[in-house]
Amino acid sequence: MQMKMEAEPMAQNMKKQGSLTRFFGSLGVLVAVLFSAAAGTTLAQQATGNVPQVEVSGGYSYVRANPANSNGGFNLNGGSGSLTYNFTDHFSAVGEFGGYHFSGLPAGLSSTMYTYLFGPRISLRKSGRVTPFAQVLLGGGRLNASSGGVDAGENGFAMAVGGGVDLNVNSRFAIRLVQADYLLTRFANVNGSSVTQNNARISAGLVFRFGSR
């Protein structure tokens, strides 16, 4: 499925690509630093007794979608939620679902993208005030569109690599200050071949914690 949009000027497109490249570069550094720090502190850190067994989060998400067959990009607004099970102080399993609505489309055209992702998360709990984390999530995505009473949809592969920081208010509640992800999706082109879309996602929200390890 393909949505045709007017191409943005070349200079503006190059500027956006440069910004996206810098975003992915910074995100890669963040993930590398968090994973390296977690590996170096796992054996040394003792259990605090305040690590929740389960965490449920939800909040706002902004996605900058960059289709492979377009000179421009699309802005999406929506939300995402996750369920996290903490096996240890550092290692968790995450299930995440998100829905994002395209903005700025031509009149009469509406489109929404959904993602459902699963994977591991590593958290650093050395500080009682903040909890940074890094994660790699794999799963699928769905793209729905409607125009003139005609509905269409397709499924594809999706992957999110990134991390974030939670501000711990108390043992049962935290504020997700930021979560930044490289969001890869693979939806079909008009000729039926699978095409990769390199997207960026920024989220923020609330975290509720239950139980204790």
Residue 144 near residue 112, CB atoms below 8 Å: yes
Residue among 186, 173, 188, 177 nearest 55 (CA): 173
Q: Is 87 exposed, middle or buried (0-12, 13-18, 19+ CB in 10 A)?
A: exposed
Domain boundaries, the chain: 10-210
Position 1 confidence tier, pLDDT thresholds 50, 70, 90: very low
Please give the Cα distance from 134 to 179 (Å, whole number): 9
Residues 34 and 30: their CA atoms lie apart, in Å, by 6
- Closest to 209 in 3D by CA, of 54, 49, 47, 83: 54
CA distances from 49 to 45, 84, 121, 211, 212 (A): 12, 17, 19, 11, 7
What residues form DSSP beta bridges with 205? 59, 176
User: Does the domain at residues 10-210 carry the CATH identifier 2.40.160.20?
Assistant: yes
Write down the pLDDT at residue 148.
84
Mean pLDDT to the nearest integer, 166-181: 96
Backbone angles phi, psi at 72, to 5 degrees: -115, -155
Tens-digit pLDDT profile for residues 110-157: 999 999 999 999 999 887 899 999 999 999 999 999 988 888 899 999
pLDDT in tens, 53-80: 999 999 999 999 987 666 678 999 999 9
pLDDT tens, residue by residue, 7-46: 343 344 444 445 555 555 555 555 555 555 444 444 334 4
Kindly report the pTM of this predicted structure: 0.75
* AA letter at 137: L
Structure tokens at 136: 């790699």
